[in-house]
């Protein structure tokens, strides 16, 4: 039997409008028909046998959100974030699909065997659909083609030490070889865009609990070095390249010029870079440590302008949830030590309300939310032929939320494995009430979670040219 969801505020991205209507989908989870008026709904119901109907009343019903940058640390560091906790966090945040970043797992996805090991563990634990990135590290260039054929979203690399011995940084020769491997596949090479050149950076070991001591070790010049190299490669090779978790607005002119010159480059930034400023980070609060680091308020304002100008294509959480020990949050001599704490901010569940709350200052609307958290992430992951739109034949993936309702961030509502995050105690606007994946209720605010019926997504290679909205 088909199912019918009703709402007086269904967001139709193509028209950038809210309609009072319904979405009909089949029991195999595909959208069958879209009704844009109450009369069309009533006419359908009058002429059709009783359907299963759910009315979301005044809640916004929009395509399910997609996060292309989530660290799921199973196998190897399940106590950081496993498949169950990560996908519950996603579902509670309105995300219907996420893509796993191949860092901080043992083994990482730097080989086909590593991908098989990860997907084997994932099945039966997923509350949302999950895709996977592969990794480029020194010495695994011959694995790249196999990873792409096996279905990874794309290939990620570091140009700066990652902090994980299993995932070292690569050099220009490695990157050039990888670009040649992906040619003709439709795949993408993504970069953690920080890179040392000749400068030597010395940390202030006398003040390890001051945020500035850490910030000074990751200056904007590191990102500028990397972005300069990436835009030259994107312009030269015309192959798909992507900058992950951009924090420095100084790089935006280079990015804009690259796109203007025909470089096939896309860029993401993260909620923490758009909502937190370095001036407001107190000493010893290592839950604020990320890599690249959170920078000053003036930088944040420029990042928002980059979003409005579409120099930045999408927002991804870069969600990492280290345990309190590596994060230097446990009591002892190392508590609050920014220089020794593990990088990573846990925000997957909160991404939508963070961006919605902060974005009001910059004129962000539903059209921007859809572009940044749904449409362009689907394009990046190569799944925009099945997800991210209200079209017949697409997956019935929905985020149902109230943009006006506020809530308090507290440990009790956080589903990530580890509760520490920079937003604890804040009031945010934009409450997710339900999340639906392929027609299945995976999360309801007052009822909890459904069965873990999410699927592993393995992307088919093609020659599709991606154009970001």
Q: pLDDT (tens digit, 9 = 90+) per residue, 71-109?
A: 999 999 999 999 999 999 999 999 999 999 998 888 899
Q: How far apart are CA 194 and CA 197, in angstroms?
A: 10
SS3 192: strand
| Residue 46 CB burial class (10 angstroms; 0-12, 13-18, ≥19) | exposed
Interatomic CA distance for residues 83 and 244, integer angstroms: 22
Calculate mean pLDDT across residues 207-236.
Answer: 97
Q: Where are the domains of the chain?
A: 3-61+393-449, 65-381
pLDDT single digits (tens) 109-153 = 999 999 999 999 999 999 999 999 999 999 999 999 999 999 999
Spatial separation of the C-alpha atoms in residues 377 and 385, rounded to whole Å: 12
Rounded distance, CA 196 to CA 200, Å?
Answer: 8
Radius of gyration, alpha carbons of the chain: 22
pLDDT tier for residue 462 given thresholds of 50, 70 and 90? low
Task: Give the tens place of pLDDT for each residue, 325-341.
Answer: 999 999 888 999 999 99
Q: How far is CA 153 from the centre of its chain?
A: 13
**CA distances to 88, 354, 407 from 426, in Å:** 21, 10, 8
> Over 50: is that where the pLDDT of 60 sits?
yes
- Give residue 466's pLDDT: 53
Q: What pLDDT does residue 469 have?
A: 74
* Phi, psi values for residue 434, rounded to 5°: -160, 150
Work out whether the CA dihedral 398, 306, 421, 162 comes out positive or negative: positive
CATH of domain 3-61+393-449: 2.30.40.10
Opening angle at CA 278, ends 274 and 284, nearest 5: 125
In words, the CATH class of domain 65-381 is alpha beta
- Judged by DSSP in three states, 295 sits in coil
CA–CA gap between residue 168 and residue 98 (Å, rounded): 24
**What's the DSSP call for residue 148?**
H
- What are 31-49's pLDDT values in tens digits? 999 999 999 999 999 988 7
Whether the predicted model's global pTM rises above the 0.95 cut: yes
Strand partners, 329: none
The beta-carbon contacts of 374-377 under 8 Å, at least 24 apart in sequence, are 374/62, 374/63, 374/64, 374/65, 374/66, 375/13, 375/63, 375/469, 376/266, 376/313, 376/314, 376/468, 376/469, 377/65, 377/66, 377/67, 377/68, 377/314, 377/316
Judge whether residue 168 has pLDDT over 70. Answer: yes
* pLDDT for res 197: 82
Of the candidates 376, 357, 418, the residue with the CA atom closest to the CA atom of residue 69? 376
- Place 200 in a pLDDT band, splitting at 50, 70 and 90: confident
- Rounded Cα distance, 250 and 248, in Å: 5
Place of tokens 């001051």: 210
- Average pLDDT of the chain, as a whole number: 95
**Pairing status of strand 52-55 against strand 427-437:** unpaired
Which DSSP letter does residue 424 get?
T
DSSP 252-269: HHHHHHHHHTT--EEEEE
């Amino acid at each position: 039997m088909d199912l019918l969801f009703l709402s007086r505020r269904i967001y139709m991205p193509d028209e950038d409008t809210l309609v009072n209507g319904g979405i009909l989908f089949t029991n195999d989870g595909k959208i069958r028909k879209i009704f844009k008026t109450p009369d069309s709904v009533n006419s359908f119901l009058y002429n059709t046998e009783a359907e299963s109907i759910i009315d979301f009343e005044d809640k916004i019903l929009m395509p399910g959100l997609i996060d292309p940058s989530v660290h799921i640390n199973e196998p190897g560091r399940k106590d950081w974030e496993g498949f169950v906790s990560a996908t519950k966090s996603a579902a509670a945040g309105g995300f219907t699909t996420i893509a796993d970043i191949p860092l901080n797992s043992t083994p990482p996805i730097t080989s086909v065997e590593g991908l098989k090991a990860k997907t084997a563990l994932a099945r039966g634990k997923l509350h949302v659909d999950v895709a996977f990135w592969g990794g480029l590290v020194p010495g695994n260039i011959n694995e790249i083609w196999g990873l792409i054929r096996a279905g990874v979203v794309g290939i990620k690399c570091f140009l700066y030490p990652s902090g994980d011995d299993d995932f070292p940084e690569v050099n220009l020769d490695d990157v050039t070889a990888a670009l040649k491997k992906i040619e003709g596949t439709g795949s993408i090479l993504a970069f953690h865009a920080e890179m040392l050149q000749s400068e030597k950076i010395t940390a202030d070991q006398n003040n390890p609990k001051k945020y500035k001591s850490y910030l000074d070790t990751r200056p904007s010049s590191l990102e500028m070095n990397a972005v300069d190299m990436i835009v030259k490669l994107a312009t030269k090779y015309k192959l798909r390249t992507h900058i992950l978790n951009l924090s420095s607005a100084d790089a935006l002119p280079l990015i804009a010029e690259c796109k203007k010159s025909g470089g096939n480059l896309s860029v993401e930034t993260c909620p923490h870079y758009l909502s937190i400023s370095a001036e407001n980070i107190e000493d010893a609060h290592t839950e604020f440590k990320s890599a690249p680091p959170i920078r000053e308020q003036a930088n944040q304002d420029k990042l928002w302008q980059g979003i409005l100008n579409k120099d930045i294509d999408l927002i991804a959480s870069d969600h990492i949830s280290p345990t309190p020990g590596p994060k230097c949050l446990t009591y002892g001599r190392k508590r609050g030590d920014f220089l020794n704490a593990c990088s990573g901010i846990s925000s997957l569940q909160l991404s939508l309300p963070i961006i919605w709350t902060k974005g009001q200052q910059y004129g962000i609307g539903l059209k921007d939310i859809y572009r940044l958290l749904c449409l362009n992430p689907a394009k990046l992951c190569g799944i925009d032929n099945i997800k991210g739109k209200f079209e017949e034949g697409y997956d019935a993936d929905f985020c149902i939320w109230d943009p006006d309702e506020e809530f308090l961030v507290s440990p009790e509502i956080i589903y990530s494995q580890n509760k520490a995050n920079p937003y604890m105690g804040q009031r945010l606007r934009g409450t997710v009430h339900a999340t639906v994946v392929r027609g299945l209720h995976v999360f309801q605010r007052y009822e909890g979670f459904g069965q873990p019926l999410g699927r592993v997504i393995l992307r088919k290679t093609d020659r599709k040219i991606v154009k970001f909205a």
